[in-house]
């Protein structure tokens, strides 16, 4: 039986929903802006690396607060991080996959409009569903399977003739962008389910697990920096091309990743579905205003299908055991009448 969700006020849930929506939409729009500006382009691999460092520092701070004393904090780090190389290796798997996913997001948003990206990225839902079935031995309801196919149909419509942004002057490759999203959603589905499996395999604190993962993540992303952009980074510097907007993107990526765990704890799937749909709408409006996105019929219908499918997928599953008990009881009443 699942643990009961902590009882919190509707106002707090709405607060969580609002912040998650704004962070998701702002991150996509800001990232898109930094990748299509006419200024010197920064190295996306360094941005991913720095966000891992910030996530690590935030997780360490939250763990320190959670443990309540310096002694317990040191003991927790010594036992679970420094003294657990096997666990660090275990968490290096999602670290590597998330590093690929985050770098693919930068590549995708360099070649696709923010709204098109936001809609297409929802393919992470069927990917996560498939990984959940295969790795956690769970099943999906008929309604969830219908919503998965509906979502795929919506994304196909959006990608059939991608909407164009008239105010973006840099050269783009939509096919490369879609390929990057495809890799990103595969990574998102696998890494998310793998991390969930690790979390549920023991009672180790979420923040300890985050520290283990981000330590590995820093090593992986640093390797990616020097494998992908090593020569140019040495020549121009690690922070080449950085502006306030770039730092804003990094901050959103760092806070957004950690905030998701709070949202998962205090809200339900329906609210998360509404948040995803609202983020799509906000990204679309911002893309029209900032990048001159031209809305096509295909894009509008596809986006509508995706938003509806997200809502349907998050609906609570009906407890068939309760229905069967009620049916049995009603039959017995009829027999004894």
Give the domain range for residue 81.
10-315
Q: What is the pLDDT of residue 319?
A: 52
pLDDT above 50 (res 329): no
Tell me whether residue 2 is in a domain: no
Tell me whether residue 326 is in a domain: no
What the block records as the tokens of 334 is 């009829």
Task: Tell me the whole-structure pTM to 2 decimals.
Answer: 0.80
Instruction: Please report, rounded to a whole number, the percentage of residues in the chain having pLDDT higher than 90.
Output: 27
Tell me whether residue 170 is in a domain: yes
pLDDT in tens, 256-289: 877 766 665 566 555 666 677 788 888 888 888 8
Q: What is the mean pLDDT of residues 109-137?
A: 87
Tell me whether residue 57 is in a domain: yes
What the block records as the tokens of 228 is 């992908």
What the block records as the tokens of 308 is 């509806």
**Total count of domains within the chain:** 1
Sign of the CA dihedral running 61, 64, 70, 72: negative
Q: What burial class does residue 301 get, using C-beta atoms within 10 Å of its C-beta: 0-12 exposed, 13-18 middle, 19+ buried?
A: middle
263 or 105, higher pLDDT: 105
Tell me whether residue 178 is in a domain: yes
Tell me whether residue 286 is in a domain: yes
Tell me whether residue 3 is in a domain: no
Tell me whether residue 217 is in a domain: yes
pLDDT in tens, 137-150: 888 888 888 888 88
Q: What is the mean pLDDT of residues 186-191?
A: 90
């Amino acid at each position: 039986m699942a643990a009961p969700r902590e009882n919190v006020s509707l106002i707090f849930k709405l607060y969580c929903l609002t912040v998650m929506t704004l962070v998701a939409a702002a991150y996509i729009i800001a990232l898109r802006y930094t990748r299509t500006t006419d200024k010197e382009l920064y190295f996306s691999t360094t941005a991913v690396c720095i966000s891992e460092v910030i996530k690590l520092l935030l997780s360490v701070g939250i763990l320190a607060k959670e443990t309540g004393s310096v002694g317990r904090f040191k003991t927790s780090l010594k036992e679970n991080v420094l003294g657990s190389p096997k666990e660090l290796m275990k968490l290096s798997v999602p670290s590597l996959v998330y590093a690929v996913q985050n770098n693919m997001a930068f590549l995708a948003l360099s070649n696709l409009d923010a709204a098109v990206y936001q809609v297409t990225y929802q393919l992470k839902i069927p990917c996560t569903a498939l990984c959940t079935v295969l790795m956690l031995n769970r099943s999906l309801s008929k309604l969830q399977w219908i919503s998965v196919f509906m979502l795929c149909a919506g994304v196909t419509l959006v990608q059939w003739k991608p909407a164009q942004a008239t105010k973006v002057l840099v050269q783009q490759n939509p096919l490369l962008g879609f390929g990057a999203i495809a890799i990103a959603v595969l990574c998102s589905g696998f890494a998310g389910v793998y991390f969930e499996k690790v979390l549920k395999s023991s009672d180790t604190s979420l923040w300890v697990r985050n520290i283990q993962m981000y330590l590995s993540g820093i090593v992986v992303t640093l390797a990616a920096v020097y494998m992908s952009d090593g020569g140019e980074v040495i020549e121009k510097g690690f922070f080449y091309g950085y502006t306030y907007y770039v730092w804003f993107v990094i901050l959103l990526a760092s806070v957004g990743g950690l905030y998701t765990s709070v949202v998962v704890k205090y809200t339900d799937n329906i609210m998360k579905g509404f948040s995803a749909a609202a983020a799509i709408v906000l990204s679309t409006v911002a893309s029209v205003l900032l990048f001159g996105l031209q809305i096509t019929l295909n894009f509008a219908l596809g986006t509508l299908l995706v938003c509806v499918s997200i809502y349907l997928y998050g609906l609570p599953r009906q407890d068939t055991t309760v229905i069967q008990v009620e049916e049995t009881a009603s039959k017995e009443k009829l027999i004894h009448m």
